[in-house]
Structure 1
Amino acid sequence: MTREKPHQVAVLRGLQFTGNAMFSLLVVCMPLYFAELGFSRLEIGSVYAMGPLMATVSNLLLGLVADKAKSIRLLLGILFLCQIAVFLALAPLRQFAAIAALMGAFYFFQAPAPPMVDSLSLLASDRLGRSFASIRVFASIGFALCAVLYGYLYAEFGSPVVVPAGCLTAAAALAFVPFLGNFQANLRRFDFSELWGILKQRKTVLFFVLVWLVSVPHRVNESFLSLRMQEIGGQGLVGWLWLIASASEIPVMLLLARFGHRLKELPLLSAAAFFYMVRMLLTSVSDSPWAILAISLLHSVTFGIFYVTSMRFMTHLLPDQFRATGQALFVTVWVGLGGLFTGPMAGWLYDTFGAAAPFLLGAGTSLTAAIGFLYAHVRGYS
């Protein structure tokens, strides 16, 4: 494995990069694509909720299969091929019901891929002598660079750019899969009763409830920040918005890679949730594209801290043989359950009470989570 170390680190970083390049397309271009088709804010929110509904099923199902059969590499190849097929099917569609159903299928194949790559990255980080954050940071780089690229392409060419961009991004990810090492080969046997015993513990349940609360402001940003920028005259800055946000993660993740082990996870998670509240409140009262660009720098101390620290905490909750299942559960809560609630609710609030309402919802749930993480720390769940 020593001889393969540089090669495997590069492959994992490439998968992190391309996986979040796809995510940037979904966040930067798809809300504008749906708006161009004439969808209301509620319909856009519902489309984004259809995806997490399917993602909830696929993450749990494929996470269990990946751990039980030790087959992450094979599953990743199948998922990327299916993503290409779904984008090709999306091209001629214009009706809301058909697009919502197809986006559900897309999320079924897209949502499990990033947690599987994270699972391999966590397993590999120990064996290759690299920190998880030093590999995961390439996801932030991929999102940042491709947010600008896709934002520019959409501003120049409009909706016709979406399908080719999606197909090429999935194909680029697929190209890395044959070179992946088998990091699951020497893991202990999967035992469902052992997994269930861990999942029903009070600290595990509380952790996932708090993750769901923090997912609300994150999903509000993903679903409606591009639309908000468009409404206040900042459509040309949408790509830069996501570039600034993602680029701001990078130094924070590198600092956590070097010094994060010195800090306890639960207080860090509480701080990240608190900064989510600040970010949501500031966004709710801002009507300038430049102000929202400045606020996006808080992405560094919200998602940048929250995601990496959550992954660290997960390694204490679940042993290595349950790594893919644990990642699947995290993403099910973070993307699936968070999206199911936030998409329709935030869309209805946006249509009914105006642009500030969904961001105020996110502020309330993140404040609750900040208090909850502090409570867990005081109770000794660290």
Structure 2
Amino acid sequence: MLALRVLFLLAGAILGVFYPFLSAILADRGFEPAEIGLTAALASLAFMFAVPVWGHLGDVVIGRVAALRAGVVGSTAALLGLLLGAPPIIVVGLIVAYSAFESSIAPLADALAVNALARSGRSYGRIRLLTSLGFAVVSILAGALYNVTGFWPAPLLVLGCAIVIVVALRWVPDVARFQPAMAPDAAQKSVVARRGGSFMLVLRTQPRLRGTLLGLGLVHVGILAGFTFLALRLLELGGQPSDVALSAGLSALAEVPAMALIPRIVRRTGTRALLAGGMILYAAVLVSWALLADPSLIVATRLLSGVAFAAITIGAVMTIAALLPPELQATGQGLYQTVGFGAAAVFANALGGVVFGLGGAMPLFLGSAVLALAGAAVVWRVVTSAAPGASGSAAPLAAR
């Protein structure tokens, strides 16, 4: 499992050197808040449409390891284009391309992990915390570097992480690809072959997944609004790139002990309470971002947002692992990414850029808090307390 641990550690690092600084990088290139929001929304749209493709490629066509390798290489190539000093329209195109390829990393890595750890579903949290650790350490160090150099080294740091990931994937285990013959009836075979592939198959065969995704989408509007606009809020209040990095890094560091403790919590409460509790806590943090005007206090609240994000992320992955069979995990985890970091991000970034530009932080983050509470209510209704994901992945579709 060493290669899997390296994969998750570097999956956090490759995001940590770039993603927390995206809005600051665009602002440094002369983008206005509304333009930053539009760029992020276009990138999120690309993310949303690309994730199901990666899931189908991984589960059905070329395998999860090969698909992940292609995504890492493509996203790195797009960011290297930023070194060329391109005009704004090309920068937007490169960010959109980066997002389309980067969308492969989390769902395919999660699929590889839950399948490799199928006999012990709770072990996923201990693997996933490595991503948070890598993200936290690297983003803080990168922020200190960017204070001195500016943001130009970011693509080169991404390249270094990508090389190690591609090498480590050589030893990451995978299960067999899904074959249409595994579907239990002719109608489902037709869905896989012609109408939406594995993406539509999992939605048709697991009704509870749709409600779960709705609740996750609502809370992720607030999460993604924070990812994009909290950095601008900190800079607006007089913060530096290192403050942006510390904000992201503290949140990710808080995820590490939270993820280590989550298996014990799930044994006592089940996944439903874990998800709903994480969403309620994140709503409270969003309210604090609307009201606080001191960068240091805002950064301090990131400890709580990290705990909340850990609960939401682990709860979501474990729930999907329990609902779907191993052969469809890349598709299922991809659907979570599509809704949570695609559709929700389009809404958060497109509308959020306008709201932040016109009214500032208060209406943006208060509105996001309301949506997070709505997500908690939906999850409490549709996720059964008896689906904690403790036993690993679900049975094959043919056995349902």
Quote the Cα distance in structure 2 between the aligned partners of 1:224 and 1:186.
40
* 8 Å Cα contact 1:210-1:369 kept in structure 2: yes
Structure 1 Cα separation of the partners of residues 148 and 63 of structure 2: 41
User: Is residue 262 of structure 2 the alignment partner of residue 224 of structure 1?
Assistant: no
Counting only pairs closer than 5 Å after superposition, residues 126-137 of structure 1 correspond to structure 2 as 126=118, 131-137=123-129
Q: Secondary structure at the match of 1:233?
A: coil
Where does residue 343 of structure 1 map in the other structure?
349
Superposition pairs for residues 171-320 of structure 1, below 5 Å? 171-184=163-176, 190-191=182-183, 193=188, 196=200, 198-200=202-204, 201-235=206-240, 236-320=242-326
Q: Which amino acid aligns with 1:278?
A: A
1:187 to partner: Cα distance: 9.1
Matching residue's letter, 2:256: I
Aligned match of 2:27: 35
Residue by residue, what CA displacement relative to the aligned partner does 1:232-269 show, whole Å, maximum 9, x if unpaired?
Answer: 12213222212211111111111113442332211221
Contact 1:59 1:329 in 2 (8 A): yes
CA deviations 1:80-112 (Å, max 9, x no partner) are 222232122222244332211111111111111
Q: TM-score normalized by structure 1? A: 0.91
CA distance in 2, matches of 1:189, 1:253: 37
Where does residue 6 of structure 1 map in the other structure? none
SS at match of 2:84: coil
Change (3 A) 1:381 1:105: same
Aligned CA distance change for structure 1 residues 187 and 298 (closer, same or farther; 3 Å): farther
1:334 aligns with 2:340: yes
The runs of 5 or more residues in structure 2 that have no matched partner are 190-197, 389-400
Amino acid at match of 1:299: S
Match of 1:160 in 2: 152
Separation of aligned partners in 2, 1:138 and 1:378: 28
Which of 1, 6, 13 is equivalent to 2:5?
A: 13
Measured against aligned partners, the alpha-carbon deviations of 1:52-101 in whole angstroms (never above 9, x if no partner) come to 21112221112012111361111222222222321222222443322111
Stretch of structure 1 that moved more, 167-176 or 177-186: 177-186
Query: By how many angstroms is 1:332 displaced?
Result: 0.4
SS in 2 for 1:159: coil
Q: Per-residue deviation at 1:198?
A: 4.7
2:346 is paired with a residue whose SS is: helix
2:54 alignment counterpart? 62
Q: Distance in 2 between matches of 1:56 and 1:197?
A: 18
Q: Answer yes or no: is the 8 Å Cα contact 2:209–2:323 preserved in 1.
A: yes
- Matched-pair identity in %: 24
For residue 148 of structure 1, report the CA deviation from its aligned partner: 0.5
The code of the aligned residue for 1:167 comes to L
Q: Which amino acid aligns with 1:219?
A: L
How much has 1:341 moved relative to structure 2?
0.8
Q: Distance in 2 between matches of 1:189 and 1:75?
A: 22
TM superposition shift of 1:117? 0.7
Instruction: Tell me what 2:394 maps to.
Output: none
Structure 1 position 183, deviation (Å): 3.2
Structure 1 residues 175 and 381 mapped into 2: Cα distance closer, same or farther (>3 Å)?
closer
Q: TM-score, normalised by structure 2?
A: 0.87
Q: CA deviation at 1:377?
A: 5.2
Decide whether the 8 Å contact of 2:212 with 2:383 is kept in 1: no
Q: How does 1:51-90 map to 2 (within 5 A)?
A: 51-69=43-61, 71-90=63-82
Gaps spanning 5+ residues in structure 1: where? 1-8
Query: What is the alpha-carbon root mean square deviation over aligned residues?
Result: 2.3
Change (3 A) 1:271 1:314: same
One-letter identity of the residue aligned with 2:300: A
Q: Post-superposition shift, 1:379?
A: 10
| Structure 2: distance between partners of 1:151 and 1:255 | 29
Letter in 1 for 2:227: E
Q: Does the CA-based 8 Å contact 1:49-1:341 persist in structure 2?
A: yes
CA–CA distance in structure 2, aligned partners of residues 259 and 308 of structure 1: 11
Query: 2:391 corresponds to which residue?
Result: none
Deviation of 1:366 (Å): 0.3
Task: Point out the more displaced range, 166-175 or 120-129.
Answer: 120-129
After superposition, the C-alpha distances for 1:288-342 in whole angstroms (9 at most, x for unaligned) are: 0111122111123311101101111112221111101001111000111011111
Separation (CA, whole Å) in 1 of partners of 2:40 and 2:58: 26
